[in-house]
Amino acid sequence: MRRRHRGAPPSPLPQRDGIDPVRVRLPADPDGAWATVGDHFAARYGQAVGAKRLDAMFREGRVVSLEGAVAADEPYAEGRCLWFHRDFAPEERVPFEVGIVYRDERVLVADKPHFLATTPRGGHITETALARLRRDLGLPELQPAHRLDRLTAGLALFVVRPEDRGAYQTLFRDRLVRKEYEAVAAYDPAVALPRTVRSRIVKERGVLAAREEPGEPNSESRIELVEHRGPLGRYRLLPATGRTHQLRVHMNSLGLPLLDDPLYPVVQERRADDYSRPLQLLAKVLEFADPATGEPRRFESGLRLAQWPR
Which sequence spans correspond to the domains of the chain? 22-84, 90-174, 177-289+305-309
Pick out the chain residues at pLDDT < 50: 1-5
Spatial distance between the Cα atoms of 41 and 193, rounded to a whole number of angstroms: 56
Model-wide pTM > 0.85: yes
| Model confidence pLDDT, tens digit, residues 216-274 | 999 999 999 999 999 999 999 999 999 999 999 999 999 999 999 999 999 998 887 89
CA dihedral sign of residues 132, 133, 137, 141: negative
CATH topology of domain 22-84: 3.10.290
Q: Per CATH, which fold does 177-289+305-309 belong to?
A: Pseudouridine synthase (3.30.2350)
CA dihedral 8, 14, 19, 21 (to 10 degrees): -50
What pLDDT score was predicted for residue 4? 41
Give pLDDT, residue 7. Answer: 66
User: Which numeric CATH code is attached to 90-174?
Assistant: 3.30.2350.10
Closest CA to 110 of 147, 165, 164: 147
**Are both 22-84 and 177-289+305-309 of the same fold?**
no
